[in-house]
Amino acid sequence: MVNSILSALITPCLSRFKALRSLQIGAWATKWYPTSRYDIAMEVFSTISSPVFSELVIVLESDEIDGLHSDVELFETLRRMNEIRPFTLVFLVKAEESCCRQADVLERLEDAIILATVTGLLNFLDSRPVVRITWLSTPEWEPVPMETLPVRHFRCGFVPASPISGTSYSFQDDRSSVGRVSM
Amino acid sequence: MDPQIQDTVDAPPIRVPGQAEVYHGIRVINGLARPERPEASRPLTTMTTPPTRVPGRSRESIPPVSSMDHPSVHTNDSGLYSVRAVGMNLSNRVVIFWNRGKAKINGLLHIAPPRARAVHDSTCRLPHELTEMIIAHLIGDLHALKSFSLICREWYIAAVPHLHHTLTLRDTTPDKTHDKLKPVSKLHKLGLAPLTKEVRVIQPHRTADHWFEPQAFSRRDLHHFSAFTNVQTLTLKEVDIFRFMPDVGRYFGYFSPTLRSIVLALPCCTPRQLSSFLSLFSNLDDIYIYYPLHGSTEVVPDSEPVLFSSPKLGGRLELFDFFWDETFTDLANLCGGLRFRDIDLRNAAGYGLILQGACAGTLETLRFYMPTCEEFNVGSPSDSS
């Protein structure tokens, strides 16, 4: 009951966007009711009516890569989505330039996808999944410590966790690596 | 050996009495002449001029001039042969050997005559594409880029747009406000202001130390700002926009024709003031707003928005922790709808307006984040049971 109410509150309807090509879904690893998380994704996806829609992007933080292949429910949700509307699956990793090496991130992500492929979690796809890395170049200022932000700033008491808040001050770099995982 | 050349060398010399002739640096008076061989009259420079040096090629890679390829060398050899044949006196022989030795030394040292320099200049330049490739590797490293620009004038010209691409105004000197605007006047003085594509104003996260406010601008500073005619991105971190109201055009209007992208981190103003500020830039495409701060009504006076122009707003919209529907309602009314192509909303109540059709015809990419428990104050998953 609670899940359905919350889902109705936060689920955007995408049926009006006739030019929508790509839907990007982020914060998969958030502490949410596991079933609701995928229900929400399904519900949002099912409202898409754009004739040019072709791409579903799973946005991952760099520390979420390693547990990707073990998230069976995610791939099951993706399979159900693909039955509704076929798409090209893209894994987009947001990595900070200062703490990651491009080759390492790519290698970890490719390993995770290969593991998922070997175990048959990606069998439903018609085409190979695509890998992208967005490098977040650290700006010249330090991220503001969250505890110093005024409380009135956050509605409903939401205080983002520190790693996420750090990236919120970063800007998407033009340099993004794109690769395609061989299956 | 080439039989034709062999024949020429072995031909008997013809003596022309009383005629002086230059034989490759050997001035022979009443000597021998070889009128049947036109190459015999070549001047000295043809022999002593070294082959043109190509940058990047080692000396060994330059093919040596062989006697078979260069007829003048034959002439020289044959000249010696001819001199011997008639029994030239000792002093003339000494002159011959002296000049030959000098020519060989010059050849070894690659002493080129002045006319060869023009060819040398045109070949020593690095192709512009390679220079750009080097710069592409140095763009993130300002110190290396500075060193690169000191190599030569050509490299300086290639590097200078990247050196001055971003102007950052920050609190390097805590005492004087006007010192913080010094880079502006310095760039203006050197005529480099048009090269700046991005202006960043970085203020510390302490309200008491904020210095970027109208009082910081002298008339001269405002004049210097007018020279920044190519700024495309404006980044303001913790700027009290309300302090610039309502004369915001006086301070930021110079960027209006060229500004495409604006980044506001923790801006302090009211929603209506924000829409007024954004409407100042008629060509604005991309908007990034992070954690806007609504000052208390005592500090931040709100008023009816003064909308200056209708921005394009056809690029990317990124809102983090943004709940001011009034801002984009004003802009949508002003512009007759929003036309963003990419939208990224995190903990932003933009769904109310934006996702109800404001960008229906243009939106191509939507980034949607899963909600968190804290976002709706529902507690942890374990509490729900």
**ipTM for this model:** 0.71
Q: Which residues of A touch B376 (CB under 8 A)?
A: 6, 9-10, 156
A155 or B6: which leads in pLDDT: B6
Residue type, B125: R
In angstroms, the CA B166 to CA B196 distance is 6
Cα–Cα nearest to B161, from B178, B145, B181, B182: B145
Mean pLDDT across chain B, nearest whole number?
A: 69
Cβ neighbour number for residue A116 with a 10 Å cutoff:
23
Q: Which residues of A touch B344 (CB under 8 A)?
A: 24
How many Cα atoms sit within 13 Å of B329 on the Cβ side?
Answer: 11
Q: Above 60 in pLDDT, residue B48?
A: no
Average the pLDDT over each of A68-72, B37-41, B91-95, B352-356 and give the range with the smallest value: B37-41
The distance of B226 to chain A (nearest Cα, Å) reads: 25
CA angle B262, B355, A77 (to 5 degrees): 110
Q: What is the DSSP string of B282-314?
A: TT--EEEEES-B---TTTS--------------
In angstroms, the CA B104 to CA A130 distance is 66
Q: Which residues of chain A have pLDDT under 50?
A: 1-9, 138, 140-177, 182-183
Q: Count of domains in chain A?
A: 1
In angstroms, the CA B132 to CA B143 distance is 17
Q: Which residues of A touch B354 (CB under 8 A)?
A: none
Alpha-carbon radius of gyration of chain B = 39
Per the CB < 8 Å rule, is A155 touching B384? no
Distance of CA B311 to the CA centre of its chain: 30
In angstroms, the CA B241 to CA B294 distance is 11
Residue type, A48: I
A108 or B206: which leads in pLDDT: A108
Q: Which chain A residue lies closest to B293 (C-alpha atoms)?
A: A153
If pLDDT is split at 50, 70 and 90, which confidence band does B201 have? confident
Q: How confident is the model over B199-203, as a mean pLDDT?
A: 85
Note the pTM of the prediction, 2 decimals: 0.65
Per the CB < 8 Å rule, is B291 touching A153? yes
DSSP, collapsed to helix, strand or coil, labels residue A29 as coil
Q: Copy the structure tokens of residue A176.
A: 């993004």
Query: Any idea how long chain A is?
Result: 183
Cα–Cα nearest to B302, from B349, B350, B269: B269
CB B288 within 8 A of CB B263: yes
Per the CB < 8 Å rule, is A17 touching B291? no
- Report phi then psi at B67, rounded to 5: -65, -25
In angstroms, the CA B259 to CA B267 distance is 18
Q: Which chain A residue lies closest to B200 (C-alpha atoms)?
A: A140
Q: Which chain B residue lies closest to A137 (C-alpha atoms)?
A: B140
- Residues B223-245: pLDDT tens digits? 888 888 889 999 888 888 888 88
Give the CA distances from residue A22 to residues A8, A58, B238, in Å, rounded to whole numbers and listed in that order. 22, 11, 33
Q: Above 90 in pLDDT, residue B262?
A: yes
Q: Residue B199's beta-bridge partner residues? A: B167, B234
DSSP, collapsed to helix, strand or coil, labels residue A9 as helix
Q: Return the H-helix or E-strand segment holding B48.
A: helix B45-48
Domain that holds residue A112: 2-180
N- to C-terminal Cα separation, chain B: 103
Q: Residue A136's beta-bridge partner residues? A: A96, A172
